[in-house]
């Protein structure tokens, strides 16, 4: 049996485009003599559809697409994902389902059992879990079909009360097939391959695992679909962050006659979240995820051009370089907005960056605008010292300027705030926190520097002076970030313990951190949730990003 895996990038709710893409892959697999082709979870409608699932028309369009796909599933079997209706009155109205189509018929439907309701996932809001488990029969073979989370409930600390494969194995299946929408974060790849291996070893069956790719607003899916034999050897591993198709030939004796064997010894068994902060971990894949996140956000929203407020600092430099790579330099513009507090090298560094990237840039000094604001506020501010009000005023002037160009020329503003700043509130609402998409909002400052060095891996794109100089918002003379925050090599590891590892103050102090410093930092994080709640979507690259996957109260007493 020749089995194809179609690793594709879907657009949520774009039924026509998704279905055309699915049918094109089916036709190609038929040309190459395929017997069965496997797609990813909810491929027809795109994942995650969220509250679109509450619209009857959305469900009807998905079911109509299943009928359309069924017509081309004549000489080849097709496993494809789409919501289905629950015929029972009890429970939710929908299932998250996989359809087996063959001979222009629906030969079987499998429902997802384990509905994740943590971090970015909210499936139990919409779907009813499966309540019966049967294999699908195809060309004399018994297929144990599962959907994404269904294979993850293994180990000594199970999250759910049931393991679907424990039920399916009772029907003596010949192979496991998993339709998945498993998102990227910088530790998840090894854990994903590890969980597949644990399944094949436990059940002594091979597995075909098809994952989606593409970015859906803040969530990036990285692909990496694979085939593993019953010995736990990795036969096929598809590219990351790229649409592709692959095939394997599965023999009657359960072996495969193609694929390159990688021994199981190279595969970890779980997500290896480091105990301490590792800013260099998987920077290449983080870079790829950010590029895909920008490109898909623009492509799927129909946006063409981006604008970046370029300050001569590391954050805006990295965002500008990523945007040029993702969208093409001709589609990215930079706006330099120096004030009387900006150093000459900041302007020259920003200019050199745009020259290196070959993107258009404009320079609009804001000193006169700032002085006009000061004059307008003179009576109200009379006798009061220069402080954060005047500093933030400059940031808000810059926000207004860059948004004016955004409106005039139809360019989407890419935000440049990093995770360290967002965590501690080191940013100005309606100023440098403005934007349509947060590119670096899930990268700590030390990771931003690591991405900058990766961008410069072959040649100097980001001027070295931008990387070397001390970070500063330049809102007053001789200002440094370290005037307001601990040094980033001290701050970032503490933030990591609190945000990613969910360690409390006692645990963070116990690993050698100063108690007063820990208290100060954690209070900053909690007291600035109101700012993050007003922030734009952030491209997720870590196991715990700000946004939909981290839900803490704005008004709360814990550590405040």
155-210 tens-digit pLDDT:
777 899 999 999 999 999 999 999 999 999 999 988 899 999 999 999 999 999 99
Looking from the CA of 140 toward its CB, the CA atoms found within 13 Å total: 4
* Of 238, 266, 294, the domain-final residue: 266
- What integer is the mean pLDDT of 494-519? 97
Residue 269 has pLDDT above 70, yes or no: no
Mean pLDDT of 490-511: 97
Is the same domain home to 261 and 289?
no
**8 Å CB contact between 143 and 178:** no
**Residues 128 and 53: beta-carbon distance below 8 Å:** no
Domain that residue 360 falls in: 283-532
Whether residue 538 contacts residue 546, with contact meaning beta carbons closer than 8 Å, is answered with yes
Task: Give the C-alpha separation, 220 to 273, whole Å.
Answer: 18
**Whether residue 263 has pLDDT greater than 70:** no
Inform me whether the pLDDT recorded for 46 exceeds 90.
yes
Q: Is residue 547 part of a domain?
A: no
Percent above pLDDT 70 for the chain: 98
Please count the residues of the chain. 560
Q: Average pLDDT in the 483-505 region?
A: 95
Q: What does the buried/exposed string (b/e) look like for 522-533 if buried means 16 or more CB atoms within 10 Å of the residue's CB?
A: bebbbebbebbe
Closest CA relative to residue 296, chosen from 321, 326, 320: 326
In degrees rounded to 5, what are phi and psi of residue 89?
Answer: -70, -40
In terms of DSSP H, where are the helices of 302-313? none
The radius of gyration computed from the CA coordinates of the chain, to the nearest angstrom, equals: 26
Question: Does the pLDDT value for residue 501 go beyond 50?
Answer: yes
> Distance of alpha carbon 213 from its chain centroid, rounded?
10
> Is residue 261 included in any domain, yes or no?
yes
Three-class SS of residue 35?
Answer: coil
148 in active site: yes
Q: Find the catalytic residue in 45, 65, 148, 536.
A: 148
Q: What is the CATH number of the domain that holds 51?
A: 3.60.110.10
56/119 same-domain check: yes
Whether 330 and 255 share a structural domain: no
Shared domain for 229 and 356, answered yes or no, is: no
Residue 44 lies in a domain: yes
For the chain, the straight-line distance linking the first and the last C-alpha, in angstroms and rounded, comes to 61
* Residues 218 and 127 reside in one and the same domain: yes
Checking if the pLDDT of 477 tops 90, the result is: no
Instruction: Cis check for the bond before 413: say yes or no (omega within 30 of 0).
Output: no
CATH code assigned at 356: 3.40.50.620
User: Residue 529: which of 499, 507, 500 has the closest Cα?
Assistant: 499
Catalytic residue among 21, 65, 82, 112: 112
Q: Are residues 516 and 371 in the same domain?
A: yes
Using alpha carbons, select from 393, 463, 467 the residue that is nearest to residue 431: 393
Q: Do 397 and 432 meet the contact criterion of CB atoms below 8 Å apart?
A: no
Q: Name the more confident of 344 and 224.
A: 224
Percent of the chain at pLDDT > 90 equals: 89
384 and 261 within one domain: no
Number of domains in the chain: 2
Within 10 angstroms of residue 56's Cβ, the number of other Cβ atoms is 10
460 DSSP assignment: -
Residue-wise pLDDT for 284-301, tens only, equals: 999 999 999 999 999 999
Last residue of a domain, one of 266, 301, 329: 266
For residue 264, pLDDT over 60 is answered with no
Indicate the pLDDT class of residue 257, thresholds 50, 70 and 90. Answer: confident
Neighbours of 101 (CB within 10 A): 24
**Predicted TM-score of the model (pTM):** 0.96
Q: Same domain, yes or no, for 306 and 195?
A: no
Assess contact for 452 and 428: CB atoms under 8 A: no
Query: Are residues 31 and 65 both part of a single domain?
Result: yes
Same domain? For 257 and 376 the reply is: no
What does the alpha-carbon distance between residue 139 and residue 35 come to, in Å, rounded to a whole number? 9
pLDDT tens-digit series, residues 541-556: 999 999 999 999 999 8
- Mean pLDDT score of the chain: 95
- 31 three-class SS: helix
Query: Does one domain contain both 325 and 200?
Result: no
Q: Is the pLDDT of residue 309 over 70?
A: yes
Q: Is 112 a catalytic residue?
A: yes
């Amino acid at each position: 049996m020749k089995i194809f895996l179609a690793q594709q990038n879907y657009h949520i709710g774009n039924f026509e485009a998704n279905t055309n893409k699915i049918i094109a892959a089916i036709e190609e697999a038929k040309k190459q003599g395929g017997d069965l082709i496997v797609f990813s979870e909810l491929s027809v409608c795109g994942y995650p559809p969220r509250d679109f699932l509450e619209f009857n028309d959305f469900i009807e369009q998905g079911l109509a697409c299943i009928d359309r796909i069924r017509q081309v599933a004549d000489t080849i079997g097709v496993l494809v994902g789409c919501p289905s209706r629950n015929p029972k009155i009890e429970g939710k109205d929908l299932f998250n389902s996989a359809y087996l189509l063959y001979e222009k018929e629906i030969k079987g439907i499998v429902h997802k059992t384990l509905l994740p309701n943590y971090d970015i996932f909210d499936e139990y809001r919409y779907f009813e879990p499966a309540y019966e488990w049967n294999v699908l029969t195809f060309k004399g073979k018994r297929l144990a079909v599962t959907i994404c989370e269904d294979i993850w409930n293994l180990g000594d600390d199970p999250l759910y009360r049931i393991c679907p494969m424990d039920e399916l194995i009772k029907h003596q299946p010949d192979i496991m097939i998993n339709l998945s929408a498993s998102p990227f974060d910088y530790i998840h790849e090894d854990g994903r391959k590890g969980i597949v291996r644990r399944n094949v070893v436990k059940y002594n069956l091979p597995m075909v695992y098809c994952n989606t790719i593409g970015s859906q607003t803040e969530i990036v899916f990285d692909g990496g679909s694979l085939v593993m034999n019953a010995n736990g050897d990795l036969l096929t591993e598809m590219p990351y962050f790229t649409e592709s198709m692959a095939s394997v030939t599965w023999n009657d004796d359960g072996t495969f006659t193609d694929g390159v064997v990688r021994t199981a010894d190279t595969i970890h068994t779980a997500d290896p979240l480091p105990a301490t902060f590792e800013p260099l971990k998987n920077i290449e894949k983080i870079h790829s995820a950010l590029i895909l996140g920008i490109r898909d956000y623009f492509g799927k929203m129909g946006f063409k051009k981006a604008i970046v407020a370029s300050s001569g600092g590391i954050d805006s430099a990295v965002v500008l370089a990523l945007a040029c790579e993702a969208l093409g330099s001709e589609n990215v513009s930079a706006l330099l907005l120096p004030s009387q507090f900006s150093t000459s090298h900041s302007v020259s560094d920003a200019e050199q960056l745009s020259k290196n990237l070959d993107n258009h840039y404009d320079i609009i000094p804001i000193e006169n605008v700032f002085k006009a604001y000061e004059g307008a506020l003179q009576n109200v501010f009379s006798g009061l010292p220069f402080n954060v009000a005047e500093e933030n005023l400059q940031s808000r002037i810059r926000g207004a300027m860059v948004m004016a160009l955004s409106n005039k020329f139809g360019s989407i503003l890419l935000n440049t705030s990093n995770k360290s700043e967002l965590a501690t509130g080191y940013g100005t609402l309606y100023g440098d926190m403005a934007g349509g998409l947060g590119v670096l909002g899930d990268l700590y400052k030390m990771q931003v520097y690591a991405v900058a060095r990766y961008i410069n891996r072959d040649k100097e794109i980001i001027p070295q002076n931008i990387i070397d100089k001390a970070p500063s918002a330049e809102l007053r003379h001789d200002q440094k970030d370290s005037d307001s925050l601990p040094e980033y090599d001290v701050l970032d590891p503490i933030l990591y313990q609190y945000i990613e590892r969910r360690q409390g103050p006692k645990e963070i102090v116990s690993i050698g951190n100063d108690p007063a410093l820990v208290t100060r930092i954690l209070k900053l994080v909690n007291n600035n949730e109101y700012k993050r709640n007003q922030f734009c979507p952030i491209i997720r690259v870590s196991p715990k990003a700000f946004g939909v996957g981290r839900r803490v109260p704005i008004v709360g007493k814990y550590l405040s």
